[in-house]
Structures are given as C-alpha cells and as structure tokens.
Amino acid sequence: MSAIPAPPGARKRLAAFCSHGGSNFAAIADAAQRGEVPLEVVVMVHNNAQAGAKAKAIARGIPTEWVPGHACTDEEAHARRLLEILEGYRIDLIALAGFMQRIPTEIVRRYAGRMTNIHPALLPLFGGAGFYGHRVHEAVFAAGMKVSGPTVHLVDEEYDRGPILMQRAVPIHDCATPEEIAARVLVEEHRLYPETLGLLAQGRFRIEGRRATLLSL
Ligand code: GRF
C-alpha cells in the first residue's frame, strides 16, 4: 500500500455500515487517515444503538447515523432514509462491515459496483442465507477445512453472491476451535478490506458478469 496521501479531490467518500464491534470499520478508517488508501470515511451508519462501532467512530471524529430498520414503516421508507444520508454526505462508496440487516433493493441498485461486503470465509463456500457471524467459523471448523480467509465482494441482490474482488487464504490446520479460526481470519480482514477498497477507489477492477479482474498498473 502506498503511504503517499492522495490529494483530497482524488479521495472517494466512503460510508461504513456496521451493526457490532466495528473492528473492520476502524481498520478502514485508520488506513484512510494514515493516507494509505485514497478514501475518506465520512460517516458510519449503524442499526444498533449498542454497536461498539459507535465509540470507534466518535474516537476518530467520524459522524454516526443511527438507522434502526424496525423504526421505518416499510422498505421504501427505510431506503428513503438511507438515501437521504448517502446523498447528504455525497457518498461514492459503501462498505458493509459486519452489517446484519438487509439493504433495501433500491439502494443496492443505485450503488451497484460501489457497495462492498466482507465475509469471513472463502466464498462461494460457507456463504448465503444462514451463514453469518460465528456460524460461518463453526461450519468451517466442522468441515475440517485447512484454509479459510476473508472475501471482499461487491453487493448485489443476492446474499454473498456479488463479484469477488479479493480473497486471502489463511492457514487454519492447527486451529483447535472456531474461535481460533475467527481470530486468525479477522487479522487478515483488517488488512484485506482497506486494501481492496483502496483498489476499488482507484478504479482498478474490471467487472465482467460474475468475474472481477484486478487490472495491473
Ligand atoms: C467480520 O468477521 C466480518 O467478516 C463479518 O462480521 C464481522 C464484523 O466484525 N461480516 P467487526 O464488527 O468488523 O469487528
């Protein structure tokens, strides 16, 4: 990763969406603040008043917006509220970082190619409905996998199915519990997510159907 800060105009404005601890959000925000990636994290949107991500945002001087899905009367109202925030902050890229709520279809369509998610396993294995949070690592452990690792993908209308931008294999053959797998994969998530977003911000991926190709410089 380059440590030469990009000029302000070249930085993409990013919104992070979080539900829980926000360690990925913090890794992205810190990489951006150190000037390692051409990004500016301008808002953290969360749906959980107790989200640990909130304290991390406050500590970094990043504004937060609380959008509890249940407080919106329907999907249309939910989409309207999110759009108001995204347009208000002039968002270029959305990074879902441990966000445990369905994103309204209208938002997914509007930000197609500009919304990413991180999944803590090597998709398309251990993904889709029912594979979230700790369940992913439990399934990886039960299957006796020798490698796991994070996947960063574009978000489309189906869970965990958008084009894969980057993946990184993490050896787990010596992990004795799903918790150990989770901890090891998380360390790599914190490297991979900022790096991938930096590449996306620079327009370095060519998307053809379900395939994303990293273009060389
Ligand atoms: C990460 O493991 C991520 O892959 C998954 O949810 C977890 C979020 O962790 N989608 P954090 O909130 O970033 O600490």
Q: 83-136 pLDDT, tens per residue?
A: 999 999 999 999 999 999 999 999 999 999 999 999 999 999 999 989 999 999
97 CB near ligand 1 (under 6 Å) = yes
**Span from the CA of 119 to the centroid of ligand 1 (angstroms):** 8
Q: Are 28 and 16 in contact (CB under 8 A)?
A: yes
Q: pLDDT, tens digit, for every residue of 7-60?
A: 656 899 999 999 999 999 999 999 999 999 999 999 999 999 999 999 999 999
pTM over 0.85: yes
Q: Are 168 and 149 in contact (CB under 8 A)?
A: yes
Give the side-chain half-sphere CA count within 13 A for 45. 25
What's the whole-number mean pLDDT along residues 149-172? Answer: 96
145 CB near ligand 1 (under 6 Å) = no
pLDDT at 1: 46
pLDDT at 6: 65
Which residue has 């489309």 as its token pair? Answer: 156
SS3 content of the chain, % helix, strand, coil (to 5): 35, 20, 40
Determine what percent of the chain is predicted with pLDDT higher than 90. Answer: 89
- Does residue 70 have an active-site annotation? no
d(CA 172, CA 155) in angstroms, rounded, equals 27
189 CB near ligand 1 (under 6 Å) = yes
